[in-house]
Structure 1
Amino acid sequence: MMRRSQALSQLAVLLLFLLVTPSASTLTLDEACKAVGASNRGVRYDYCVKFFQACKGSATADRRGLAVIAAKIIRAAAVDNGKRIATIKASRGDDKRILGPLADCDELYSSAVDQLDAAARAIASGNLQDAVTNLSAAADAPQTCEDGFRELGVSSPLAAEDSEFSKECSIALAVTNTL
């Protein structure tokens, strides 16, 4: 009887220890976001953690999983930016100066979706060179988009979205580069 109660006590202590000790996967997310903050001053640690909180699986993912998750999160952002562009086009249908750059941005974000799909597949398969190439190509979309407005001397209606997308791409690239 005494051994049984000792075993139960030890089991209770072990369970308590497991509940209060951070798991390796939690440390992985923490370490990944610290690496992102160290490699990119434009992306703070807390921004990185918030970025990953958009996906429940990030709390238990390893670094490769985090890189795939990051690519999928920014893919969704690229799709959303495409929808935003369509909304702006519909509301400014008569402003010919803005329609050209918007069409270019639409094409850039559409290509980014394909590049991010390819990046996620490359990360999952361990082909990191292709992953970085595709992530880098997608990361060029917001700057190229903004350049189109700047060249025409018009204010970009996508400045906030482009800035956010750039930060998110920085996270995906930084995490992928730690693999």
Structure 2
Amino acid sequence: MASSVPAASAVPLLLLFSLAAVAGGNIILPACKTVSGRVDPTFCEEALGSVGAGVDAKSYKELAVVAADLLVANATSTKAKIDGLLASSGGKNIGGAALQALRSCQALYGGIVDSGRGSATAIRGGRFREAAAGLEKAAAAVRRCEDGFGKSGVSSPLTKEGDNASRLAGLAVALLAFVY
């Protein structure tokens, strides 16, 4: 009987320490659990935890900015990859349909960079619906890029990058759903 009293008093202490850990630190895990119905929680944790700003975030709004910034970094890198593919081949080693798809994706990823930057700025300014619209536009541009390769019957060299871009845009939108 005496042993049950200390065990019972330990439960509130554990709850207190758990709440203190969330309130005083990293909110990535609870945020990723919250949006897990819309976004893969492992992807969420890995993406947001990959940069200091994610680890230091204190709100879903700040995490949404991080996701939008990661989208911009992804799209910038993907556009550079496309630029490299086009420059290295000079268009000579790439078939007409693939060349056309790459050029289309080059323009689309330039737009994704702009949409991502605009969305991050809108989030910071509290314009959440505007931000969500920009992020959804970015995800649609990724789909159009991939569709261009599919229609040409050529496999896309950008599938992995596109998947990540779509997931980052979706993550930011999912987080925003809990902000406004």
Q: TM-score, structure 2 length as denominator?
A: 0.81
Q: Is the 8 A contact 1:135 1:169 kept in 2?
A: yes
Q: Does 1:51 align with 2:50?
A: no
Instruction: State which of 81, 84, 100 in structure 1 corresponds to 2:78.
Output: 81
Q: Which residue of 1 aligns with 2:68?
A: 71
Q: Percent identity?
A: 31
* Greater Cα shift, 93-102 or 105-114: 93-102
Q: Is the 8 A contact 1:142 1:162 kept in 2?
A: yes
Q: Which residue of 2 aligns with 1:116?
A: 116
* Greater Cα shift, 24-33 or 137-146: 24-33
- Which residues of structure 2 form unaligned runs of 5+? 1-15
- Secondary structure of residue in 2 paired with 1:71: helix
CA distance in 1, matches of 2:24, 2:138: 28
Q: Which residue of 2 aligns with 1:9?
A: none
Q: Is the 8 A contact 2:26 2:55 kept in 1?
A: no
For the aligned residue pairs, the C-alpha RMSD in angstroms reads 2.1
CA distance in 2, matches of 1:25, 1:103: 47
Once the two structures are superposed, what CA deviation does each residue of 1:67-117 show, in whole Å capped at 9, x if it has no partner? 111111110100000011112212332122211111110111101111111
Q: Which residue identity lines up with residue 37 of structure 2 in the other structure?
A: A
- Pairing of 1:158-173 with structure 2 (within 5 A): 158-173=158-173
CA distance in 1, matches of 2:78, 2:26: 32
- Which residues of structure 1 form unaligned runs of 5+? 1-16
Q: Which residue of 2 aligns with 1:10?
A: none
1:174: Cα distance to partner? 0.8
Aligned residue pair count? 160
Q: Which has the higher helix share?
A: 1
CA distance in 2, matches of 1:101, 1:36: 33
